[in-house]
């Protein structure tokens, strides 16, 4: 049973050098593709049955044996031997050892080129939904925190300088909106990736597997690839998948940067839960935001995986080249990284505790109400260029006195400019500034609440896509 099976070699006069064998052998991580290789093999077996290469009994035995092989590998009863070049060789060795010559028939009409392309594409279509499910949990945690802080005033920043008052829920939903667009990207990616490479064989198509449309439908694709060379030689679907994962990494990294800032001792707007923080080996008082820092660091890995895939493809002639084996390393790294990051980030976000009073006090630091004065003047017919200058003088006056704009008296307003009168004071409060921005997408509490409702409705649609994919996978496994 452990006799190695070679998928090539008849025309060679010498055995492969051990250095070649070691270099050429697939990494053990490829074993995760076994279920997808088995699924493709079952679809191909039915194709061979349609063409008369397998009779009814042979097809039945082939499908039963492939199912048993998958179970044995999953249970650890079978493992690759040193002579197995890859999972395709491994599975064929087991198949021939159990079925004899009948097992050897399965290779007719296909190539490792279309097998390899199919295995990874099926894997990524499943993992896109798995990552999306984890990402939904992070977004749900952000949405729950936002709902709890619809009235919590906070300073908003540009250039990391105090800009205008906002509600904290608005800031949290900004991150949720950015992250949920990656769900749209996965859904859009999946639509483009729903084309099967099976039947492309090495590059020219198969003279035996003549109904790739039926195999495609069996495996949950919308149809076969239009061009057999493109089917085996392109990996833009892998690069695009990796772009989405890299974008998730970048979006999470931005969130982490803000969490680190909010939880810093100097700012202290938020506190980490003990279960999602770490300590110092030398300083007993420390409470470190390691999840945020590790996630910020892991985003570099995700960007690196994308870069590796793009660079691998850039100089390849069209059709299959062995360089493309790097697609799996890049994809597995990205998938594994996010499966670690997303649950940790969900917990970190869900357990954050915010100091509402401290954030409210900071909401007017740095003259964040200045825009309210300029807008007040503009509404009274003062050209905004002039209103900007008048408000700038008011800020300078307040800086010299060490007070905020809201502390000025009617006489002081008038001394700065005749266009200012006592009624301007009504707009110089956090509550007034927030409520004034009630337009679609604004930071007024009512507008933020409406935004949250729209987000939750959009997320329900995306949850449906995730659940439908899982259901389809379960139905496919039953077959």
pLDDT at 27: 85
Nearest-CA neighbor of 448 among 153, 210, 160, 236?
A: 153
- Phi, psi dihedrals of residue 160, rounded to the nearest 5°: 60, 25
Nearest-CA neighbor of 36 among 116, 107, 122?
A: 122
**CA triple 441-351-289, angle to 5 deg:** 100
**Contact by Cβ (8 Å): 112, 28:** no
CA 88 remoteness from chain centre: 29
**Contact by Cβ (8 Å): 420, 413:** yes
Q: Classify burial at 476, counting beta carbons within 10 Å of its beta carbon; exposed 0-12, middle 13-18, buried 19 or more.
A: middle
Catalytic residue status for 280: yes
**Contact by Cβ (8 Å): 181, 198:** no
User: Catalytic pick from 159, 275, 281, 385?
Assistant: 159
Catalytic residue status for 111: no
Long-range pairs, 78-83, Cβ under 8 A, ≥24: 80/28, 80/31, 81/2, 81/4, 82/4, 83/2, 83/3, 83/4, 83/5
Which residues lie across from 353 on neighbouring strands?
A: 271
Residues 6+ apart with CB under 8 A from 186: 128, 129, 131, 132, 244
User: Measured between alpha carbons, how far is residue 126 from residues 123, 130, 252, 472, 473 in Å?
Assistant: 5, 6, 22, 10, 8
Cα separation, 204 vs 119, whole angstroms: 19
pLDDT at 1: 42
Written as six digits, the tokens of 20 are 């070649």
Low-confidence ranges of the chain (pLDDT < 70): 1-10, 12, 20, 470-479
User: Measured between alpha carbons, how far is residue 292 from residues 167, 174, 351 in Å?
Assistant: 23, 18, 13
Cα separation, 91 vs 70, whole angstroms: 9
**Contact by Cβ (8 Å): 125, 46:** no
Domains along the chain? 18-108 (1.10.275.10), 113-149+159-205+226-361+449-473 (1.20.200.10), 370-428 (1.10.40.30)
CA 457 remoteness from chain centre: 20
User: Catalytic pick from 264, 280, 409, 415?
Assistant: 280
DSSP secondary structure string, 227-289? -HHHHHH--HHHHHHHHHHHHHHHHHHHHHHHHHHHHSTTT-SEE--GGG-B--SS-TT--B-
pLDDT at 26: 76
Cα separation, 278 vs 270, whole angstroms: 16
- The neighbour count for residue 439, using CB atoms within 10 Å, is 9
Element (H, E) at 162: strand 161-167
**Contact by Cβ (8 Å): 175, 254:** yes
């Amino acid at each position: 049973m452990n006799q190695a099976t070679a998928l090539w070699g008849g025309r060679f006069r010498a055995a492969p050098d051990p250095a070649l064998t070691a270099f050429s052998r697939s990494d053990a991580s490829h074993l995760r593709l076994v279920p997808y290789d088995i699924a493709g093999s079952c679809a191909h077996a039915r194709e061979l049955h349609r063409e008369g290469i397998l009779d009814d009994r042979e097809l039945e035995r082939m499908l039963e044996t492939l199912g048993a092989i998958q179970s044995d590998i999953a249970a650890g009863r079978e493992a690759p031997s040193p002579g197995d070049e890859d999972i395709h060789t491994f599975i064929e060795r087991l198949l021939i050892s159990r079925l004899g010559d009948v097992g050897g028939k399965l290779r007719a009409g296909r190539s490792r080129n279309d097998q390899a392309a199919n295995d990874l594409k099926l894997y990524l279509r499943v993992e896109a939904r798995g990552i999306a499910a984890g990402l939904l949990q992070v977004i749900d945690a952000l949405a729950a925190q936002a709902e709890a802080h619809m009235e919590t005033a906070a300073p908003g920043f540009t250039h990391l300088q105090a800009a205008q008052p906002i509600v904290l829920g608005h800031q949290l939903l900004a991150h949720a909106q950015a992250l949920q667009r990656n769900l749209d990207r996965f859904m859009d990616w999946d639509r483009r990736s729903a084309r099967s490479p099976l039947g492309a064989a090495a590059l020219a198509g198969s003279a035996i597997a003549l109904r790739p449309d039926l195999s495609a439908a069996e495996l949950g694709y919308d149809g076969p690839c239009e061009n057999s060379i493109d089917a085996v030689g392109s990996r833009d679907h892998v690069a695009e998948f990796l772009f989405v994962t890299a974008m998730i990494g970048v979006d999470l990294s931005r969130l982490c940067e803000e969490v680190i800032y909010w939880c810093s001792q100097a700012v202290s707007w938020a506190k980490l839960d003990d279960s999602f923080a770490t300590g110092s080996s030398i300083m007993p008082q420390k409470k470190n935001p390691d999840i945020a820092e590790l996630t910020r660091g892991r985003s570099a890995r995700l960007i690196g995986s994308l870069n590796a895939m793009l660079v691998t493809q850039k100089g390849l002639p069209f059709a299959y080249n062995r360089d493309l084996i790097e697609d799996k390393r890049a994809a597995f790294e990205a998938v594994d990284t996010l499966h670690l990051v997303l649950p940790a980030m969900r917990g970190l976000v869900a357990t954050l505790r915010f100091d509402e009073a401290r954030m409210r006090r900071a909401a007017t630091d740095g003259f964040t109400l200045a825009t309210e004065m300029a807008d007040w003047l503009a509404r009274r017919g003062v050209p905004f260029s002039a209103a900007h200058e008048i408000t700038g003088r008011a800020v300078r006056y307040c800086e010299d006195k060490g007070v905020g704009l809201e502390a000025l008296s009617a006489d002081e307003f008038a001394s700065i400019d005749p266009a200012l009168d006592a009624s301007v004071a009504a707009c110089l409060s956090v509550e007034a500034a927030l409520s004034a921005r009630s337009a679609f997408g604004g930071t007024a509490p009512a507008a933020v609440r409406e935004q949250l409702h729209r987000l939750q409705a959009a997320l329900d649609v995306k949850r449906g896509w995730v659940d439908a994919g899982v259901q389809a996978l379960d139905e496919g496994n039953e077959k």
